[in-house]
Amino acid sequence: MVCRMKIVITGGKGMLGRTLQQILKDHTLIVADLPEVDITDMDLLDDFIAGCRPDVVIHTAAMTAVDRCESEVDLAYRINELGSRNVAAVCKKYHSRLMAISTDYVFDGNKSTPYSEFDNATGGATVYGQSKFAGEKAVQQLCPEALILRTSWLYGSGGPSFVHTMVDLACQGKALKVVSDQWGNPTSALEVARKIRLLLEHPELRGVFHLTCEGGTNWFEFALEIFKLTGLNPVVTPCSTGEFPRPAPRPANSQLEKVRLKQSGLAPMMHWREALNEFVNIEFGNKKRLMSQIL
């Protein structure tokens, strides 16, 4: 059992940040988020960390709107690279352990099998992925003992997420087309938060870890599973990526292999179907029967 810690969560008002507050509630938690704390303002951030002197900083703050990053490049790099650099710098200065959340988008998505932590990351073809990869490099440069935790296809309580979007559209009675040629690991924020809690108990661990649920699927099959579990039955058909061009190209393969978890002797992540079932029961619960009656 890990001792009670003082933990700062940057971006603590976001989906993963909120879930971490739930899972780590027996620790002393300090939420760092806008407007009170701006990670791009080094003086403000330094004063904040100096004032609370946390044992650990879990850095979830990021600009994650993938398409918006393409049109607001400077802002994406300011938040995802400079912000991460600032967080790493204050962690080094005040001797706080750093856990930085990153993304599958650091890979180009062209590999036919899942990416491991030992595969070469380049930042991929998007501004989002490139800015997050730049942030990873800044963290590794300033805090080589830090943990960089990559996740993908994340959903959690309150959203926003693909799960919430599918449920909302289905409840509106809309026919849906869902992409079937992009593959990844649907991942529960609750399961990521649990694994972060476990990693807190292992201060000897450092470097890159992949934290996605086990098993791979595509968005279309993911949607079908959501509808199965919620009792919804919309008209849904598969389509190709080419039918829905977006400002930021989506990687064809976002699947991540969890080699470092296995090497470290830690329990694997839940399978994505099991994790989704748990989430639907928690998030929608007895609303399932009502939703099935809507259509």
Determine phi and psi for 15, rounding to 5 degrees: -60, -50
Measured over the CA atoms of residue 13, residue 250, residue 195 and residue 230, the dihedral's sign is positive
Residue 214 identity: E
H helices within the chain, ranges in order? 15-23, 42-52, 66-71, 73-77, 83-93, 127-142, 162-171, 189-200, 219-230, 259-263, 272-283, 287-294
**Chain centroid to CA 149:** 9
Cis check: omega of the bond before 35, within 30 degrees of 0: yes
**CB-count exposure of residue 113 (10 Å: 0-12, 13-18, 19+):** exposed
Q: Is 128 an annotated catalytic residue?
A: yes
How far is the C-alpha of 183 from the C-alpha of 172, rounded, in Å?
27
| Catalytic choice (77, 105, 115, 128) | 128
Rounded CA gap, 33 and 61, in Å? 8
Residues with active-site annotation: 128
